[in-house]
Every structure is written in structure tokens, then in C-alpha cells.
Chains A and B, each alone.
Chain A
């Protein structure tokens, strides 16, 4: 739905990521969770990244941001605004032009009040006001800002995490599962904000399991399986029985939703164990 002409913002090509592990003593081995990942995001476009758990969706996000653990071995090319995204550039851009909403609520500082965490990186003079505004927008009470992360529920923490990503001058938003555990009203507010990012010309990578929500706002959907991109389809192809989807895996993923034929996956196994 990008009104502007398609200008690629982020191009990930043949990305592969491995981890070297120590087995015993100095014996090493390398595991390769991501083998052949390809994703392209244009300016003003929302690309949903879906796929099995453990297929490497979060790793893709971490690779683009340059926050993989130190034993990771990365190859392939990541191009941002037509230029290779080097580790140094990643450091300069992340938290500024590239904003990240992490998957785990563990990423919040457990010893810092959540209001103060949202104010990080905002203009000091208006930070407090801005934070209160964001809280109101995501259906959080202003008194919630004085609480510590452990005092908030899972869904509330998600919304706090989301509020930390809303900054001026953001060009690329990488949202890793921003929606689980959030009730429908707050969810639609978050989707609206992601849509707004795109309207303002930013690219959005929305990593999610929540296909129904993602399809409401996404332009295209990339399907990841076992560390490789198996399909990139227009979001409109996800409807009915999925006859417009290209691969068998994507069709199964679509049909397994509780809204569709959840039961198809139910096999009559003997579970007397």
C-alpha cells in the first residue's frame, strides 16, 4: 500500500548465521540455525515475518541490529539505504534510525521504574510529558509509570516495551512479537502505531505468530522455515483456504489457525503416556 514509489530500505540477502559452541575442553562445533534468509523491506512498507518457533526469526532481527551473541558467525549481505550495514553503522543507527521492540520482556531493566525506561532517549525537557502521552495512548495508567517491571502484567509490559520504540526520526522499526498477551483494544492501538510508522515513510519488519493481526496491516508476508525464506507473498493471498499461497508449508500454517481448520492438525494419537 506504499503510495510513494518503491524504494528499498533494507535488503537482507543470503543471510546465514552460525554459532560456535565449546563441547568438551577446547573441542568446538558450529551449529547453523539460519542458512538462507532473504527479506526486503521498502520505505513505507510493512513486512510481516512469520514461521515456526525456532526457525530463526528473532535471530534475523538481532543480526540486522548487530546484537547477536559474541559466538555468532554471520555471512551474507545486509544493505540499508543502499549501503552495506556494517557493525559500526549498526551501532550508530540502532536506537536512533533503527528502532527495536524485543520479544522478551526480560529486556526491560528490572531495577528501573518503567516510566523512566520509556523516557530514555527522549528530549529531557519534554520526556515526561511524552511518556505520559504514550502511556495514555496504549491504555496504561499514568500511575503505572512509577511501578517496576515485576509489578506489571505480561500484556502491560509489552505495551511499555512498545512505547520505548516510538521516537522521532525512526526509519526502520523491527518489532519482534510486539502483540502477545495484549487485549484487543490495546492491540489495535499498537497496530495503528505500526501503520503510522509506515505512513510516515518508515519500513516495518513485524515478526509475529499472530497472523490475524499482522494481516490487518502488512503489505507482504515472508514465511520462514528452518532458517530459510520459503515464501514471500502479498498479504491479500492469505484468505479462504489459502489457495493463492505458493508453498504447502504456508498453506498449512494458514489453515492451522484456530479461526480456520485448527482441528486438521489434530491427529488421533494414543496419548495414554
Chain B
């Protein structure tokens, strides 16, 4: 099962192309880095691959088939800004269990404290919220995860710990990961291969 995008192109305003002729593919268990200028379309590409927006040109294939609508998406996206991906009017427990019930072992791997579950999103820091977004994406049916600047909000120690747990789980489940980041040193540490977007 590979995830691939062929000749992808996209714009938000007519003829202001953000992406043009992008062809990218990732195998299960692979860790692919995605780097490029800010504003060059990394997040747009991530959203297209995850099926949130339809590209103006080109196609997305999972195992040479188009993605099925109205079922669980095997490609999950973790956003750069967790506060934008969480319903501010839900308690964290509801946010966490929206798609499946994570085991205690996963919560422990990401050091999510039980007392956080009863809090509102505004009562947690950015890094704490991001852990919920990560766990939420690790549904048993997930095949690919796109991590868009996943740990830019985190301090170095937490960053290293989270990548350790996250990649450990992804390797054991053979999940393919796309790591979107500006930080070359981080990409070099984590990735098997790096794709440079734009010029």
C-alpha cells in the first residue's frame, strides 16, 4: 500500500498557482521529509494528500485506487497549530475519544496526564494540546500520517521524546510518515528521504 500524488497542482485564487506538477509517493513504514520555503505550499500539499481539499490538477492514489469518500481516512493529518484543530467547546476527553478509544499505554507514551482530560482546550498549553492531536491520529486504521510542523511548538526535550514515541509506534504498525519541517537538522535526524518542494 503506497500513497502517491501525481502531477498535483493547486491554487486558491485563479491562476495564482501554489503547487504545480508535484509528484510524490511514500511507502508504508517510510519516513519522508518535506521541506521548503514558508508559503511554498507544504501545508497545501499536506491537505491535498490527506484528502481535505481536492487538487485543481492531478490525482491522489492509495494503492493505485482513489480514496473512498465517507469512510475513515487512512491518511491522517496533524496540524501545525493544535488550537485550530480542536473544538474549543469540547472537553479534552471528548477530543481524544472522537475517533477511537486510545489505550492507557498510548497515553503514557505521550505523557498525557489523566487530569488533563477534564480540562477545556484553553486550559492546556500548545504542546499539551498537540499530544492529543497526535494520539487522535493514531487510530488503528491509520496507514499514513502527515506531521505538519508537529513539534515546532515544543521544547527540545519534549520534541525528542515525542518523536521517539511517535516513530516507534509508526514503525511497529508500518505506518508511513511525512515529516513537514523547516528545520533541516531535525529532518536529517528523522527521515529516510527528503523531498524539497519549490525552487
Bound: A186/B122 CA distance, A: 30
Q: Are A273 and B169 in contact (CB under 8 A)?
A: yes
Bound: A259/B160 CA distance, A: 12
**CB-nearest residue of chain B relative to A254?**
B156
Distance from B164 Cβ to chain A, minimum over Cβ atoms (Å) = 5
Distance from B24 Cβ to chain A, minimum over Cβ atoms (Å) = 18
Interface of chain B, helix or strand or loop or mixed? helix
A-B contact count (CB 8 A): 127
Q: Which residues of B contact A153 (CB under 8 A)?
A: 38-39, 41-44
Q: Which residues of A contact B171 (CB under 8 A)?
A: 271
Q: Are B155 and A50 in contact (CB under 8 A)?
A: yes
A104 at the interface (CB under 8 A from B): yes
* B interface footprint on A245-267 (CB within 8 Å = 1, 0 otherwise): 00000001110111100111111
Q: Given contacts A181-B38, A271-B169, A273-B103, are A52 and B126 in contact (CB under 8 A)?
A: no
* B interface footprint on A34-52 (CB within 8 Å = 1, 0 otherwise): 0000000000000000111
Q: Are A53 and B39 in contact (CB under 8 A)?
A: no
Q: Are B105 and A273 in contact (CB under 8 A)?
A: yes
A121 at the interface (CB under 8 A from B): no
Q: Are B81 and A104 in contact (CB under 8 A)?
A: yes
Distance from B97 Cβ to chain A, minimum over Cβ atoms (Å) = 16
Q: Which residues of B contact A104 (CB under 8 A)?
A: 81, 83, 126
Distance from A161 Cβ to chain B, minimum over Cβ atoms (Å) = 12
Bound: A180/B38 CA distance, A: 10
Q: Are B38 and A156 in contact (CB under 8 A)?
A: yes
Residues of B within 8 Å of A, CB-based: how many? 48
**CB-nearest residue of chain A relative to B198?**
A183
B73 at the interface (CB under 8 A from A): no
Q: Are A106 and B83 in contact (CB under 8 A)?
A: yes
B37, B103, B149, B161: the one within 8 Å of A265 (CB): B161
* B interface footprint on A147-189 (CB within 8 Å = 1, 0 otherwise): 0000111111011000000000000000001001111101000
Bound: A159/B39 CA distance, A: 11
Q: Are A183 and B37 in contact (CB under 8 A)?
A: yes
Bound: A106/B84 CA distance, A: 8
Bound: A13/B189 CA distance, A: 40
Q: Given contacts A52-B157, A53-B127, are A272 and B39 in contact (CB under 8 A)?
A: no
A211 at the interface (CB under 8 A from B): yes
Q: Are A272 and B172 in contact (CB under 8 A)?
A: yes
Q: Which residues of B contact A131 (CB under 8 A)?
A: none
Instruction: State the 7 A-B residue pairs at the shortest beta-carbon distance, nearest first.
Output: A155-B38, A53-B127, A271-B168, A265-B160, A180-B152, A54-B125, A256-B156
A-binding residues in B (CB < 8 A): 12-13, 36-39, 41-44, 80-81, 83-84, 103, 105-106, 109, 122-128, 149, 152-161, 164-165, 168-169, 171-172, 182-183, 185-186, 188-189
